Amino acid sequence: MNEIVKDLTTDDTVTTLVERQRTFFRSGSTRELGFRKEQLKRLRNAITRGEADIIEAVRQDLGRPTSEIWTTEIGIVLAEIKHALRHLSSWARPKRVGTPLLLQPGSSRIEYEPLGTVLIIAPWNYPFLLAVAPLVAALAAGNTAIIKPSEQAPHTSAALAKVIGGVFEREQVAVVEGGVEETQALLEQRFDHILFTGGGGIGRIVMAAAAKHLTPVTLELGGKSPCIVEKDADLDRAARRIAWGKFLNAGQTCVAPDYLLVHSSVKQPLTERIVKAIEKSFGKDPKASKDYSRIINAQHFKRLTGLIGNGPVITGGESDEEARYIAPTLIDNVGWDDAIMADEIFGPILPVIAYDDLDEAMEKIESRDKPLALYFFSKDRTLQAKVTERLSAGGITVNDTMAQFINLQLPFGGVGASGMGAYHGKAGFDTFSHAKPVVTRSTWPDPSVKYPPYRTPLAILKWVTRRSM
């Protein structure tokens, strides 16, 4: 295949596009490990070549600073590619497993085969990362893929189509741009797997459409991720790390701390330190800071500014509709039943709830939907173990935010309402592979005991089965 491919057209219908991808998959090329590695390298080269375009596109969509775009959108994808290239041979190698006496002489192994043609539906908040990181996993596992970027980040969607279209034949990897109509047209097709990242509402639509074809889904959803700060926590570190995790991309991060649960004895010193950390990062006027992002669109701006009236503002609260700017905001004395605690905030507003008893705070968390992320700040190892063992969440970081997302040795995904399935590193390879069990038996011996007519007394059968399975 040529390095530069000319086919940038989208004149094929989604039906013919999927059919072309299936035909290509059946050619068997993607099964070869050498081919897969080559595709990953081509993707890496294309991203490196298109870096300036990608950065500019994300900047236009979300007003984000260059260094942040590079690290969170491009850097993580390049790390995924490097990790996959380093480990792919070992991930894909058939694994020998034991064979019970009953099946001897014989051998058993697990072979990893690609699923076929997969669909990746991406959201707008990290519009490059969340489209391309799943693609890395899909290619590593030997699939063909169609990516549907979010129409709400149109510049990145176009940049993605250009970067991918520049190196891949559409029968191998294709970007289908568009909104609801295009996504629904894609969802009518039969795919071998769908990885969807977005909200739970659309996740349900995707899952229902997939059910018609019995297509397995990975749903990377969101939710209200709690951030608990105990009285013994290192408050300086906690404040800095919480402010970073919350206000990165103006809070439009699926694993951002959604609300702060702080022991009442340290609420004031902690919030004072968070205010200072905000000022240190973005200055006295975050609007003038080159390092502070904007809200994606007018609709989300309206939704978010509507949440600010929920309680006394500790800091922030200012907004500018035209600039889609909302200041980093902390809201005090929030109650569990307040409107701001109903849905994921997905913006730069941090409600503060004080607690006196950690067990009660944990009970409150347990009574709600399982979150995508959970953060706990404390130096006490017994308390750390208590929280990580008892509370369920897609992932947990102790004494920092977002670290569970960054370590490619860890599977990333939700649980319960925050999603199903996982990717990143090997988990991504596994998601897009079928672990196929293969048993090879010797042709000899072939005792007649297993065949009808059954003449062996049951007691003997039981004895043999118990000892040989």
Which residues make beta-bridge pairs with 435?
Answer: 112
Our finding on whether 199 is near ligand NAD (CB under 6 A) is yes
Task: Identify the residue whose tokens are 């980040």.
Answer: 153
Q: How far apart are CA 249 and CA 291, in angstroms?
A: 9
CB-nearer residue toward ligand NAD: 407 or 442:
407
Q: How far apart are CA 382 and CA 390, in angstroms?
A: 12
List 17, 62, 76, 122, residue binding ligand NAD (CB under 6 A): 122
| Least spacing, CB of residue 168 vs ligand NAD, in Å | 20
Torsion sign across C-alpha atoms 79, 47, 165, 131: positive
- Region binding ligand NAD by CB under 6 A among candidate stretches 139-147, 191-199, 265-273, 279-287: 191-199
The bridge status of strand 173-175 relative to strand 259-263 is unpaired
Our finding on whether 372 is near ligand NAD (CB under 6 A) is yes
Our finding on whether 425 is near ligand NAD (CB under 6 A) is no
Q: How far apart are CA 381 and CA 360, in angstroms?
A: 19
What is the distance in angstroms between the CA of the first residue and the CA of the last residue of the chain?
49
The residue count for binding ligand NAD (CB under 6 A) is 28
Q: How far apart are CA 372 and CA 412, in angstroms?
A: 9
Our finding on whether 419 is near ligand NAD (CB under 6 A) is yes
In single-letter form, the type of residue at position 88 comes to: L
Question: Which secondary structure element, helix H or strand E, spans residue 112, and what is its range?
Answer: strand 106-114
Which residues make beta-bridge pairs with 173?
Answer: 145
Our finding on whether 226 is near ligand NAD (CB under 6 A) is no
List 108, 184, 281, 333, residue binding ligand NAD (CB under 6 A): 184
- Region binding ligand NAD by CB under 6 A among candidate stretches 116-124, 226-234, 385-393, 459-467: 116-124
| Least spacing, CB of residue 184 vs ligand NAD, in Å | 5
DSSP assignments along 64-97, one per residue: --HHHHIIIIIIHHHHHHHHHHHHHHHHHS-EEE
Our finding on whether 416 is near ligand NAD (CB under 6 A) is no
- The residue among 178, 180, 208, 179 whose CA lies nearest residue 194 is 208
- Region binding ligand NAD by CB under 6 A among candidate stretches 39-47, 88-96, 124-132, 441-449: 124-132
List 81, 132, 248, 254, residue binding ligand NAD (CB under 6 A): 254
Our finding on whether 139 is near ligand NAD (CB under 6 A) is no
- Whether residue 133 contacts residue 160, with contact meaning beta carbons closer than 8 Å, is answered with no
Helices (H), 283-408: 298-305, 358-366, 381-390, 403-406
| Least spacing, CB of residue 146 vs ligand NAD, in Å | 12
Q: How far apart are CA 98 and CA 75, in angstroms?
A: 40
| Least spacing, CB of residue 255 vs ligand NAD, in Å | 7
Write each residue from 62 to 101 as x if it is in contact with ligand NAD (CB under 6 A), else as -, in one continuous string: ----------------------------------------
List 1, 180, 339, 461, residue binding ligand NAD (CB under 6 A): 180
Q: Which residues are catalytic?
A: 220, 254
List 202, 313, 410, 415, residue binding ligand NAD (CB under 6 A): 202
In single-letter form, the type of residue at position 320 comes to: D
List 78, 103, 158, 205, residue binding ligand NAD (CB under 6 A): 205
**Contact positions vs ligand NAD (CB under 6 A):** 121-125, 130, 148, 150-152, 179-180, 183-184, 197-199, 202, 205, 220-222, 254, 344, 346, 372, 414, 419
